[in-house]
Amino acid sequence: MRISSLFSFMVPKNAMFFDLFAEDTNNLVEQAKVFHDMFLQTDPEQIAASIRKVRDFEHKGDEITHKIFMELSENFITPFDREDIHALAASIDDIADFINGCASRIQLYNVKQFTKSMELMSEVLLKQCIEVDIAVRDMRQMKNAQRVREAIVRINSLENHADDLFDDSIARLFSEQVDPLELIKTKEVLSSLETATDKCEDVANVLETILVKNS
């Protein structure tokens, strides 16, 4: 049976999975927007408010992930392999966790000034999250498989760009920053940003696996 036929047969009974994934990735995009906007702010109170919002989105993501796992445990028929549903939900949740983790580090280390590299990397991360949202939503209809593949390519390309930004920023940091404490703080934030972009690539890998299995 072709993948399009398979999905047209399965989706009506399993729309809740796609609805939950759409809710999850929408929440992720909103979290990433607030996170990116935070790096454009200079007022400590606004930054603190953004960090709280990022945390709230992370908690909401946890709730959605739990719902997906509950549906997985209670439904025999699923739109694609159960382990892939679990992996996709967990990998989306990882992105939200690492965004929240980066924001928490900023608060913990009392980072008061953001670098241009932080702003640029958070922008790349936001673009990746938007592509994750596009790809996951297009999984609902496998006639959109090509669009999913195109989104996967864009996610991977953005991750490579994030790697380049990270390498360049670390090189400049060690050549320009003379305060060892500020160097450590900045490096930690940049490292956590880079890891978050890696987690987006993990989602792309799960989606690629699903496409390969069902093609």
List the domains of the chain with CATH numbers. Answer: 3-213 (1.20.58.220)
Q: Give the start-end residues of each E strand in 61-139.
A: none
Question: How many helices (DSSP H) and strands (DSSP E) are in the chain?
Answer: 6, 0
The continuous run of DSSP H or E covering 82 comes out as: helix 82-108
Residue closest to 120 by CA, chosen among 189, 179, 54, 52: 189
pLDDT for the residue numbered 1: 43
> For all residues of the chain together, what is the average pLDDT?
91
Neighbours of 27 (CB within 10 A): 22
User: Consecutive sets of 10 residues in the chain, 215 residues long: mean pLDDT of each?
Assistant: 44 74 98 98 95 98 96 83 94 98 95 93 98 94 85 97 97 91 94 97 96 84
pLDDT for the residue numbered 6: 41
Token output for 63: 């709730």
**Which amino acid is present at 192?**
S
Sign of CA dihedral 169, 171, 175, 180: positive
Cβ–Cβ under 8 Å, residues 209 and 149: no
pLDDT for the residue numbered 80: 84
Residue closest to 193 by CA, chosen among 125, 127, 130: 125
pLDDT for the residue numbered 3: 46
